[in-house]
Amino acid sequence: MIDIKFLRENPDAVKENIKKKFQDAKLPLVDEVIELDVNYRKALQRKESLQADKNKISKSIGGFMAKGQKEEAEAAKAQVKAFSEELAELDKTVPEMEERIKTIMMTIPNIIDPSVPIGKDDSENVEITRYGDPVVPDFEVPYHAEIMEKLNGIDLDSARKVAGNGFYYLMGDIARLHSAVISYARDFMIDRGFTYCIPPFMIRSNVVTGVMSFAEMDAMMYKIEGEDLYLIGTSEHSMIGKFIDTIIDEETLPQTLTSYSPCFRKEKGAHGIEERGVYRIHQFEKQEMIVVCKPEDSPMWFEKLWQNTVDLFRSMDIPVRTIECCSGDLADLKVKSFDVEAWSPRQKKYFEVGSCSNLGDAQARRLGIRVKSTDGKKYFAHTLNNTVVAPPRMLIAFLENNLNEDGTVNIPEVLRPYMGGKSKIG
């Protein structure tokens, strides 16, 4: 959510930003919110003026009565009554105007960074850098579910009976590998100075609307029936929510946290959930990283965050590349975003395994996360998030890149301590 003062002073810049995101249907919202804001501020001034006049006249009534000036007293009473009726109407309309302004401001997209490439959708995202040499083996690489099934590592049929499509049972060494990757990612981030955290896996609606756009919320979140609670789609939601309505001392910044959680997603509009795979699913586990920092530090932290993911995958000998999301592929709260994609030997192409985002002060403004400087001034923090690793999607890349022709899977040295010393599974 952008600052309404910025919108008042720079309406053309806000409209141009909307055009860059190819959301022209939102252009009328800028003029609407400006008009609403003018009327809202006038109504507030009128309310304050009426209240002052009402108090002044109310005090005069006693004086009139004491002097026997009944006509003047009755006239004053009538005036007080008229003021009270107008105040009552303003007490109703002012909050309605305020809520409408807030709704519009939460719909208008954040101002994107000038470096973001302009494009309509993810087909126009831009490759930045490749890390490691993508290899296609001499033998045919099976579909990831087949690799897991041959290792007795997955049971999709039973999961479908129990919960439906988009769920799975991981078994044996594949389940152990899944946990090993999560544990290794946790320690990897702790070694990089991040504080480990296990957050709540459910959050209230005010946190949901604070961390994401309405469109994302509708497409992703599962609502707990009868309660003001949602299952998290990523631990970033509850990790940023941890700072809601807080004033952080500037000297304690940056706050760097890495968190483990299960994640739950509706995957609405995903064109169906795969029956024989774990690429797009309703439930998975993830290691995440978030940063709360000073505005001037967020570009530096953005670079550090996506590099962490690249370094993690390269430590397991998985080739990856970074992709910059174009303007049309950025969610409304994001200022800038990189995807990290891993190489798939089977598909002979890269696919997304993580996403790094700088959200500027959008989440902080929505959630009331402010920083107090040493001179006592307060300002909104910047927030960033990035996927460390998200199995089982990451397992697809792992299994394909470490598969041997005989069906066994190599275990990179960094994971062996988490796998009981095994160098292979099969």
322 in Cβ contact with 128 (< 8 Å): yes
122-425 classified as CATH 3.30.310.50: no
Q: Cβ distance 389 to 258 under 8 Å? A: no
Q: How confident is the model at residue 309, as a pLDDT?
A: 97
Taking only the tens of pLDDT, the chain with its 426 residues reads 899 999 999 999 999 999 999 999 999 999 999 999 999 999 999 999 999 998 899 888 888 888 888 888 888 889 889 999 999 999 999 999 999 999 999 999 999 999 999 999 999 999 999 999 999 999 999 999 999 999 999 999 999 999 998 899 999 999 999 999 999 999 999 999 999 999 999 999 999 999 988 777 777 899 999 999 999 999 999 999 999 999 999 999 999 999 999 999 987 655 555 557 888 889 999 999 999 999 999 999 999 999 999 999 999 999 999 999 999 999 999 999 999 999 999 999 999 999 999 999 999 999 999 999 999 999 999 999 999 999 888 999 999 999 999 999 999 999 999 999 999 999
Fold category of 4-105 in CATH: Helix Hairpins (1.10.287)
Is the pTM value of this prediction over 0.75?
Answer: yes
pLDDT confidence of residue 279 = 85
pLDDT of residue 274: 54
**Distance between CA atoms of residues 9 and 30, nearest Å:** 12
Cα(first)–Cα(last) distance of the chain, in Å? 51
Q: What pLDDT, in 10s, does the model give residues 375-400?
A: 999 999 999 999 999 988 899 999 99
Peptide bond into 28 cis (omega under 30): no
Taking the domains of the chain in order of start, what are their residue ranges? 4-105, 122-425
The 10s digit of each residue's pLDDT in 321-365 is: 999 999 999 999 999 999 999 999 999 999 999 999 999 999 999
Question: Residue 59 has what pLDDT?
Answer: 86
Question: Cβ neighbours of residue 359 under 8 Å, at least 6 residues apart?
Answer: 110, 333, 334, 335, 382, 383, 384, 385
Query: Which pLDDT belongs to residue 268?
Result: 65
Integer Cα distance of 313 and 320 in angstroms: 7
* Residue 244 phi, psi (nearest 5): -60, 135
Distances, alpha carbon 58 to alpha carbons 20, 51, 119, in Å: 55, 10, 62
Count helices and strands in the chain by DSSP H and E runs: 13, 18
What is the per-residue pLDDT for 74?
85
- Do residues 108 and 33 make contact, with C-beta atoms less than 8 angstroms apart? yes
Q: Give the pLDDT of residue 11.
A: 97
